[in-house]
Amino acid sequence: MTAPLTARIYRGTPYNLVRLAHALRRGELVAAPTETVYGLAANALDPRACRAIFRAKGRPQSDPLIVHIHDRAQLAELAVPNAAAEKLARAFWPGPLTLVLPKRDIVPSIVSAGLPSVAIRMPAHPLFRRLLALAGIPLAAPSANPFGYVSPTSAAHVRAGLGRRIAHILDGGACRIGLESTIVDLRDPRAPRLLRPGAVTRAQLEKVLGLPVPAGPAQRRSSAPGAAQVAPGLLKRHYSPRTPAVLHERIHPAGAARSPADEAWIFQSPPRGLRGPNIFWLDPRGALAPAARRLFQTLRQVDAGGFRVIHLERARGDGLADAINDRLARAAAR
């Protein structure tokens, strides 16, 4: 199917959901909301549909896709689960947690970057769950944006990035969490690894598993564009604005006050006594959940502001601060 000049945005009515479920079964792409970010969904069991995801995003096939399921019973149809995976699924699904496990042959190799593993999660967003149930198929759905750019947290973000490349966008409002899912490598259940931090924190994972969950892949994998990754979101540069960004441990307000007007500054909370058209913050009180929810929206806003450089301040606090800082570091990577 040839995408229209501008993708159509659908309200989440029962009729539209049925229509979009049929489109997915025909092998078409549908951008849809999740509680984390908007995803670009296709039939995960159809290699041709999955290749269309990579084309629309300009995504290298070395970066695997996350498969989304509606029911926990589907996990064993797509992957080889273990006791650790079952514990985490019971604790956090539906929700913002992705599990990497050995894959079944039914999963096409294009979904897993040719590796014998697959990343799976059960989303919590009610519209996406209805779409999954109506489609009756697992859906591969990476973030619905051009590859490497700031992730979308609204239907308008999707249309701005992919509106000329896809036909269908399901509008579910602003994403509740605003950061991609936590990813845990459970290929060896005795040695779980946190591959990408998210709203499910390392402390929560360790409490459920009763095991330490160190960060980083079990084996060092190349971050070169051509190297197959075990999960998405592992490349050094990702979630990045087009404007060059610099990450700071702390930003002194006086330094920002003396800066040229073409330099933008993003703080976790409003800096005392510092205001101006180049000063931005993620939450009035610096709270982590709303800061995470607004991070990508703020990066997009500042990126469109014509600034020469964006200065980013690392988040402070526990839990979600790790996820926010992971995205900031990748956004500022050279």
| pTM listed for this prediction | 0.95
CA distance 151 to 146: 9
Average per-residue pLDDT for the chain: 95
Q: Which residue has the higher pLDDT, 30 or 334?
A: 30
Q: pLDDT-based confidence at 37, cuts 50/70/90?
A: very high
Q: For 253-312, how does the pLDDT look when each residue is reduced to its tens digit (9 = 90+)?
A: 988 999 999 999 999 999 998 999 999 999 999 999 999 999 999 999 999 999 999 999
Q: What is the pLDDT of residue 226?
A: 74
At residue 218, the pLDDT reads 65
Domains and CATH numbers, the chain: 8-209 (3.90.870.10), 245-332 (no CATH)
> What is each CA distance from 248 to 245, 266, 288, in whole angstroms?
10, 10, 18
- The answer to whether the beta carbons of residues 68 and 141 sit under 8 Å apart is yes
Q: Say how many Å lie between the first and final Cα of the chain, rounded.
A: 37
CB 80 within 8 A of CB 104: yes
The 10s digit of each residue's pLDDT in 47-98 is 999 999 999 999 999 999 999 999 999 999 999 999 999 999 999 999 999 9
* pLDDT score for 1: 47
pLDDT reading at 225 higher than 70:
no
Give the Å distances, CA to CA, from 187 to 27, 193, 310. 30, 9, 38
320 torsion bin: left (phi>0), alpha (psi -120 to 50), beta (else)? alpha
Cβ atoms of 148 and 97 within 8 Å: the answer is: no
C-beta of residue 99 within 8 angstroms of C-beta of residue 121? yes
